[in-house]
């Protein structure tokens, strides 16, 4: 596939917006396990993507690639975070992106960022049960890692308002 990849790169160099060449090059790079090459390809694709949905899609794929396939590189976490933030610039409530950023914050032990991402997830959650669950998670982060007992209690109370039968929320309110 090396010769084919080189041919696709030449085609993209002469016509970088040619979608069939982008797709074919991406497939060849995946087959060759050339994840850095794929990241480069998608970075280039983002420069020429004009529609919001296309930009969000490419940026999300790029973040996922940095997070999952290029995680052993020194700057991978920052690259993933930056790509995901590009998604949020055009789609501020994109649930999968918010969740990915939450995972990065957890992995880094960045509890303030985790709380921010959880707040955004709560505000964009599709239904009350999901909001309740993430409110309890937000409360636990505030309680355990940020030592913000009033903030934790407020989140537990909000969760309890959504689901009066939530044991986590009930005991959280009692505890904080």
List the chain pLDDT tens, one digit each, 176 residues.
Answer: 677 666 666 666 666 666 677 777 788 889 889 999 999 888 988 887 888 998 999 999 999 999 999 999 999 999 999 999 999 999 999 999 999 999 999 999 999 999 999 999 999 998 999 999 999 999 999 999 999 999 999 999 999 999 999 999 999 999 99
List, in sequence order, the alpha helices (H) in 52-127.
52-68, 76-90, 95-108, 111-124
Output the pTM of the full model: 0.85
Q: Which long-range contacts (CB under 8 A, 24 or more apart) does 29-35 make?
A: 29/5, 31/1, 32/1, 32/2, 32/5, 34/5, 35/65, 35/69, 35/70
């Amino acid at each position: 596939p090396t010769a084919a990849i080189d041919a696709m790169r030449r085609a993209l160099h002469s016509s970088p917006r040619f979608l069939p060449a982008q797709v074919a090059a991406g497939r060849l790079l995946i087959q060759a396990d050339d994840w850095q090459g794929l990241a480069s390809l998608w970075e280039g694709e983002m420069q020429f993507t004009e529609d919001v949905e296309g930009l969000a899609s490419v940026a999300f794929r790029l973040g996922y690639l940095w997070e999952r396939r290029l995680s052993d590189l020194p700057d991978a976490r920052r690259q993933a975070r930056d790509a995901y933030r590009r998604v949020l610039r055009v789609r501020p409530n994109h649930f999968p992106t918010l969740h990915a950023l939450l995972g990065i914050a957890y992995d880094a032990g960045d509890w303030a960022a985790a709380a921010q991402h959880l707040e955004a997830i709560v505000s964009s959650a599709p239904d009350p049960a999901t909001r309740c669950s993430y409110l309890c998670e937000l409360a636990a982060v505030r309680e355990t890692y940020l030592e913000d007992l009033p903030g934790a209690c407020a989140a537990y109370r909000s969760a309890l308002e959504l689901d009066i039968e939530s044991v986590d929320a009930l005991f959280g309110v009692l505890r904080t």
